[in-house]
Chain A
Amino acid sequence: MRILLLLAISIGAGVLLKNVRHLRYLHHTSTWTVWLLLLAFGFTLGSNEAIVRDFLHFGLTAFAVAFAGVAGSVLAAWGVRMVIDKKRTK
């Protein structure tokens, strides 16, 4: 909820600031923010002994179930895209 509120406020700020030239650098800064976020996520997970221990115990099963879920949803989404794009090109 907090993220959605922040997003709404930021969109409003973007509308007001759309003539500011420096906004074109946001694309680069957001790329670096994603990378820093992943670095911090990795550190948080890696430094948590309980998570690392559970991971050594359940890791393979967890990976298999997670990848199955991702693969199933991605293939279903690919099917949705094929149907929608086909309808659009007709």
Chain B
Amino acid sequence: MKDSLMALGMFLMGILVGVSGWLPVDALPADLTEWLLYALVVQIGVELGAGGNLRRIAGSFSLRTLVLPLATITGTLAFTAVAGMVLGGWSLADYMAVGSGMGYYSLSSVLIIDMKSDAMGVSTATQLGVLAVMVNIIREMTALVCGPWLARVFGRYAPTAAAGVTSMDVTLPMIVRSTGQEMFPIALMHGMVLEVSVPLLVTLFAGL
């Protein structure tokens, strides 16, 4: 609990400092987050390698690891559909296209703007693309900040499912830290399957 609260506190403090303008935008190196992510990946990688469990971890790759990405896709689409019906404003297919991003904000927004521009005009399509960026950034941040809490309440697969595509890169260190090294191959496979499925799903729903 302490780790989750600390993570949330740090994230909110960062937003507050950024919005308030206490620190100039260029006070920190532009690629600081990238280098911190690399530093985190190196630490997690060395920990994994030095842990002596590599053979057991590699052995846990199986067809069963495909069940989790399928569950993530099904759960995300089902609940996004319900949210779309309640919220209104956009069509159900538009909401499904946005939700299908599964954390992959760059690709999903570009695909949505590209595919929707002819049907709804560039301006409206761009708004939907911006919504896709927002939704998928919030998903990634929620997975990063709430991962340890989700693992405790909903079990070891929950942080991976919440992370979506990012379970294979940005949120992978957090997943391994909060759920154990055994989740490493499952999170990796999960991210890879979703990375393939995102363009297919976004294209499918944006084309409806």
Contact = CB atoms under 8 A, between A and B. Distances in A.
Given A41-B11, A74-B75, A74-B161, A47 B19 contact: yes
Contacts of B6: 35
Interface string A50-79: 011011001101111111111111111111
Contacts of A37: 33, 36-37, 40, 144
B36 A14 contact: no
Size bin of chain A's contact surface: 35 or more
Nearest to B24: A47
Contacts of B164: 69, 73
Contacts of A48: 18
Contact of A15 (B39, B49, B127, B136): B49
Given A14-B50, A78-B158, A9 B87 contact: no
B207 interface: no
A45 B137 contact: yes
A36 B19 CA distance: 18
A23 B47 contact: yes
B1 interface: no
B81 to A, nearest CB: 9
User: In terms of DSSP, what is the predominant structure of the interface of chain B?
Assistant: helix
Interface string B15-39: 1111111010100100011001111
Nearest to A69: B76
Contacts, number: 263
A72 B79 CA distance: 5
B49 A36 contact: no
Interface in B132-170: 133-139, 141-145, 150, 154-158, 160-162, 164, 168-170
User: Considering residues B39, B77, B155, which has the most beta carbons from chain A within 10 angstroms of its beta carbon?
Assistant: B155
Contact of A80 (B68, B134, B168): B68
B42 A34 contact: no
B120 interface: no
A63 B138 contact: yes
A47 B18 contact: yes
Interface of A: 3-4, 6-18, 20, 23, 26-27, 29-31, 33-48, 51-52, 54-55, 58-59, 61-81, 84
